[in-house]
């Protein structure tokens, strides 16, 4: 027999599920048509609109017209979505194919009663209750498969409040494959986006702004990692794939949304790359020039377009000044984004800020340690024959 407590818990879970299914999670407030700057207890936007009076943001209410896609609604993405919701973003488009699990409870946002629900549906319900003014569009699928990828691209390019491309894509995924899929889509669509990530040992993270053709894309270099100053050999991986901390994820989500807001509302300076090492409280920043030999052909096309465009965006000019000291003693090759300047150094080299390194090096030379086997010869057999031959083995 179940105890009363267990039964009560079950009732709560079922009620939550029922509410989610019926879509009758009653908003605690009515929708608000126009953001008011009036300072009264009942105005959810008064402290945000105060940014205007303080001279930080010129046009805060513009946020109501903007659309942002959040890809991955896990430890970073869910917090990112909540921050944008509380800021009154016009439309949020969420992508994830995972379910909420109790193992996620060391992170923020999701609650135990949501275990078993899809992350996007659970998040949409919570976010809608927090702010009914936000239009929320939830997509529950894996973007890396062929069919879904097309749906993903279509949603990014037509998902805004006005039926056009979204204003910004925020990558909050936890794996290389999904990051590459977002990179491929954004290069094809000329869509600006932020990449974000937290290391598998939970003690470092980063955000990176990617404007296709103007800054390095995710495929321009091997993945960047913030040095953790942990000897890899002493790093115990036995029995686990990944660790996570709500702190690191919350910090990275905060950096991500802060820079997203600066980009969307045009205040302050958008950081191109911001790293975070939790063990030493170290925050490297830099900006990265695209790799002319990037393996993504669409990135190379975007680079050509960027070079053909008249003088660079002012965003880049500002950042370059800030970034200059970082490059002073750096022999690698990062870049200031100035499309007018002639190529000065070998641009296939990356100039990374101190404390940031590539996860691994990729030799341009084709001979590698384990590739000594002969190449596949062009086959006379048809694909069907080969499939049949394999099946008959």
Q: Which residues from 150-189 bind other proteins, rule CB under 8 A?
A: 175-177, 180-181, 184
Query: Catalytic site residue 241?
Result: yes
Where do we find the tokens 């999670």?
25
The answer to the question of residue 102 lying near other proteins (CB under 8 A) is no
- Return the bridge partners of 274, or none: 207, 285
Identify the active-site residue in 186, 241, 287, 335.
241
The answer to the question of residue 98 lying near other proteins (CB under 8 A) is yes
Residue (138 or 143) nearer to other proteins, CB: 143
CA 135 to CA 3: how far, in whole Å? Answer: 41
Residue (55 or 374) nearer to other proteins, CB: 374
What's the length of the chain? 393
CA 248 to CA 113: how far, in whole Å? Answer: 24
In angstroms, give the least distance from the CB of 107 to other proteins.
15
The answer to the question of residue 39 lying near other proteins (CB under 8 A) is no
Where do we find the tokens 């894996």?
142
HEC profile of 153-210 = HHHHHHCCCCCCCCCEEEECCCCHHHHHHHHHHHHHHCCCEEEEEECCCCCEEEEEEE
In angstroms, give the least distance from the CB of 311 to other proteins.
33
Pick the binder of other proteins from 41, 234, 308, 360 (CB under 8 A): 360
The answer to the question of residue 231 lying near other proteins (CB under 8 A) is no
The answer to the question of residue 374 lying near other proteins (CB under 8 A) is yes
- The per-residue DSSP string of 222-250 comes to SPEEE-----GGG---TT-S----HHHHH
**Span interacting with other proteins, options 14-22, 125-133, 138-146, 313-321, rule CB under 8 A:** 138-146
Token pair for 195: 């990449």
The answer to the question of residue 222 lying near other proteins (CB under 8 A) is yes
Check if the beta carbon of residue 96 is closer than 8 Å to that of residue 73: yes
The answer to the question of residue 105 lying near other proteins (CB under 8 A) is no
Residues with catalytic function: 241
Interacting residues toward other proteins by CB under 8 A: 98, 142, 144-146, 149, 175-177, 180-181, 184, 219, 222, 232, 237, 239-241, 295-296, 359-363, 366, 368-377, 379, 381-383, 386-387, 389-391, 393
């Amino acid at each position: 027999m179940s105890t009363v407590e267990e039964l009560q818990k079950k009732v709560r879970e079922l009620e939550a599920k029922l509410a989610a299914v019926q879509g009758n999670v009653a908003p605690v407030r009515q929708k608000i048509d126009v953001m008011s700057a009036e300072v009264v207890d009942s105005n959810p936007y008064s402290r945000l609109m105060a940014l205007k009076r303080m001279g930080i943001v010129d046009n805060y209410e513009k946020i109501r017209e903007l659309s942002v896609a959040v890809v991955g609604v896990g430890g970073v993405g869910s917090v990112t979505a909540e921050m944008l919701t509380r800021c009154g973003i016009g439309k949020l488009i969420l992508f994830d194919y995972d379910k909420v699990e109790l193992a996620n409870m060391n992170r923020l946002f999701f609650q135990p009663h949501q275990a078993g629900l899809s992350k996007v549906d659970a998040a949409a319900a919570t976010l809608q209750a927090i702010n009914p003014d936000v239009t929320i569009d939830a997509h529950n699928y894996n973007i890396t498969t062929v069919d879904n990828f097309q749906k993903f691209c279509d949603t990014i390019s037509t998902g805004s409040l006005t039926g056009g491309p979204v204003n910004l894509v925020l990558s909050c995924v936890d794996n290389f494959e999904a990051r590459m899929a977002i990179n491929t889509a954004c290069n094809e669509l000329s869509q600006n986006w932020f990449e974000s990530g937290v290391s598998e040992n939970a003690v470092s993270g980063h955000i990176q702004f990617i404007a296709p053709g103007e800054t390095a894309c995710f495929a321009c270099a091997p993945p960047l990692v913030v040095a953790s100053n942990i000897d890899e050999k002493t790093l115990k991986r036995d029995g686990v794939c990944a660790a996570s901390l709500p702190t690191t994820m919350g910090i990275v989500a905060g950096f991500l949304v802060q820079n997203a807001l600066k980009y969307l509302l045009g205040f302050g300076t958008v950081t191109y790359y911001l790293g975070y090492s939790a063990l030493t409280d170290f925050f490297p920043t830099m900006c990265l020039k695209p790799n002319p030999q990037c393996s993504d052909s669409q990135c190379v096309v975007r680079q050509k377009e960027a070079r053909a465009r008249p003088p660079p965006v002012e965003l880049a000019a500002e950042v370059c000044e800030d970034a200059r000291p970082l490059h002073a003693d750096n022999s690698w090759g990062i870049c200031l984004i100035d499309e007018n300047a002639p190529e000065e150094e070998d641009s296939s080299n990356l100039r990374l800020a101190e404390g940031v390194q590539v996860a691994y090096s990729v030799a341009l030379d084709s001979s590698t340690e384990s590739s000594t086997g002969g190449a596949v010869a062009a086959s006379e057999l048809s694909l069907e024959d080969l499939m049949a031959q394999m099946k008959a083995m």
